[in-house]
Structure 1
Amino acid sequence: MNSLFLINILMALVWAAITGSFSLPNLLFGFALSALALSLIREQVGTVGYMSRVRRVVSLFLLFLYELVLSSISVAKLVLSPRMKLNPAFVAYPLRVDKDFEITLLANLITLTPGTLSVDVSPDRRILYIHAINVTDEEALKRDIAEGFEMKIMEAFR
């Protein structure tokens, strides 16, 4: 998988060299174009798994964007309300992911989402401590994380 990703990057750099522009949009276009080329010959070079992983990573990114918009609106409503009724809480979230990369990615996605902050991971790496500014139902928050970010991370990187 890693070698195919490097081939994809190399092909994008070759594209940029041929076109004479190393701008970010041109590099991204070259990356997409080389991914398309690899998908056309996927059976010959063994990129079937690579292409499905790309789709799953894009799905995770789109979920993050969706959650970012929803939580931004929710936090804006809280801040702009005259009485600002907050229910802050620390939540001990039981982790299903176990690799350092997956735990770090989950913690960062939670922190980047407005209204939540990853505070710490237990020494045995089984509990992620999260602070949220408005928790009405702790179990619903845990379920949202488990069925959202954590599930998408496991789909994309396992």
Structure 2
Amino acid sequence: MNIFALNIALAFAWAALTGNITLPGLAVGFALGSACLYLTRSLFPGCESYFRRTGKWLKLIVLFLYELVVSSLQVVWDVLTPEHKARPGIISVPLTVKREMDVLLVTNLITLTPGTLSLDVTDDCNTLYIHAMFADDPDAIRQSIKDGMERWVIEATE
């Protein structure tokens, strides 16, 4: 049984019952449906992996939003202060992810983060080239991507 589809059906049922078929109404229905499914998870085989994966995706979203705020503040500070600390550069990052969807997710998350831009991925998906606004320490940036976004994507998509 597809637990996600059941959760979507519960969200629509909630929205229809309350007469609030809007995005916030569906979100409330989805959250309530998730809570009900979690409480009755022993009735649905395979339901545990759904909640585990959902938790990992939520972690990915929250950590990305944190990175987004921190990097935005860093870029804004550099733009507004008279002394510019930006030392742009192009950095190659070896990738652990191999599936194209995972590589796509990592590259898009990097591009969405202010101060970084994904430029290219090799044909064998082993290396990602990025442009970084603060490229003083390329090894630290590589490690930050490996320990950050790439690891979060691996956890969420495994």
TM-score norm. by structure 2 comes to: 0.95
> 1: CA distance between counterparts of 2:127 and 2:9?
39
Corresponding residue for residue 31 of structure 2: 32
* Aligned positions of 1:32-51 closer than 5 A: 32-46=31-45, 47-51=47-51
Where 2:117 maps in the other structure, the secondary structure is: strand
| 1:114 and 2:114 correspond | yes
- Cα RMSD, aligned residues only: 1.2
Corresponding residue for residue 97 of structure 1: 97
Q: How many residues align?
A: 157
Q: Report the Cα offset of residue 17 of structure 1.
A: 1.0
Where 2:136 maps in the other structure, the secondary structure is: coil
Q: Report the Cα offset of residue 80 of structure 1.
A: 1.2
Q: Deviation string for 1:9-64 (max 9, x for gaps)?
A: 11111111111111111111111111111111112202111111111111111101
Where 1:84 maps in the other structure, the secondary structure is: coil
Corresponding residue for residue 5 of structure 1: 4
Following TM superposition, the consecutive aligned residue runs of length 4 or more in structure 1 with deviations greater than 3 angstroms are none
Q: Report the Cα offset of residue 85 of structure 1.
A: 3.7
> 2: CA distance between counterparts of 1:68 and 1:146?
17
Q: Which blocks of at least 5 consecutive residues in structure 1 are unaligned?
A: none
* Aligned positions of 1:1-150 closer than 5 A: 3-46=2-45, 47-150=47-150
Indicate the percent of aligned positions where both proteins have the same amino acid: 43
TM-score norm. by structure 1 comes to: 0.95
Where 1:5 maps in the other structure, the secondary structure is: helix
